[in-house]
Amino acid sequence: MRKPIIVGVATAFLAMVACQSPDAPDLGNPLDPSDPNYTPPSTAIATGPEDAATVTEADVTFTWRGSDRVSEYRYQWDDGEWSDWGAATSATLELLDEGEHAFGVAGRYPTGAEQPLPTTRAFVVDAVKGPALMFRPRKVTATVGDTFTVDLMAEEVDDLMLAHVVVEYDDDALTLDSVKQGDFLAGAGGAVVFLDDAAPGRILVDVGVAEGDPAGVSGTGVLATLSFRASGATTSALDIPAGAALRDPSNAPTSLLETPPGMVVVE
């Protein structure tokens, strides 16, 4: 019959000890901006081109990680729109144009508090070695009914006087609206002759300059601007088939090193 007495004494003792114990420490709320220990969300880029680096591939992948308690991320490249918030910690940018680019990523807490300023990288793409013919932009994303333009580019050429180029495209996905002369050969100051001939799925461009000073142009520039209307939901290519020709003022051919295709994604 002594057990109830022992249990009662033990219970009373524990209650007394609890009353005499110091208050539990205030751990605060690390997600509350008013908490003195609050730290805003942040991200760090783990892999990808370094700041101010030059890369020789047109496809670039970035990966990143967030500080403690960061649950979602979004990213942006160049002046494009930010992606939706999500848990992904990597992004691949496809068929980037030649030249300077920027990438940014930001994180946020489950409370919705966002990183004040994104983590950024600036880099240069030099994936195409000239003399070359190519498209800019190299990748276009459009919706059915959209109209967009693509420049036919001469890339890293020397003393160019004449260009003969055929462009092939999927006429089930795209409708050609117009072909306009570019300004590159006008840089020689002479008279530019521009001829184009279009058939479904095929565009012929002949452009040359006469009596220029200097006789030819060097560098990178636009030979023609092609305007299309997206007419079918699909992914298709813009191609420059074999037979394209560049010539200098002596009418000697210039060897083309590359003619990379373009991509059109119609959604």
Residue 23 has pLDDT above 70, yes or no: no
Q: What is the pLDDT of residue 1?
A: 47
Model pTM score: 0.84
> Quick check: 27 pLDDT over 90?
no
Please give the Cα distance from 65 to 70 (Å, whole number). 9
Higher pLDDT, 9 or 210: 210
pLDDT in tens, 160-177: 999 999 999 999 999 999
14 — pLDDT class (breaks 50, 70, 90)? very low
pLDDT of residue 26: 52
- What residues contact 249, with CB distance under 8 A and at least 6 apart? 159, 161, 214, 215, 216
Tens of pLDDT along 202-258?
A: 999 999 999 988 899 999 999 999 999 999 999 999 999 999 999 999 999 999 999
Give the chain's domains with CATH numbers: 43-125 (2.60.40.10), 132-266 (2.60.40.680)
CA–CA separation, 199 and 176 (whole Å): 9
How do residues 74-127 score in pLDDT, each as one tens digit? 999 998 999 999 999 999 999 999 999 999 999 999 999 999 999 999 999 999
Helix (H, G, I), strand (E, B) or coil at 236: strand
Distances (CA, A) of 215 to 51, 165, 181, 191, 211: 40, 20, 19, 11, 6
Dump pLDDT digits (tens) for 121-149.
Answer: 999 999 999 999 999 999 999 999 999 99
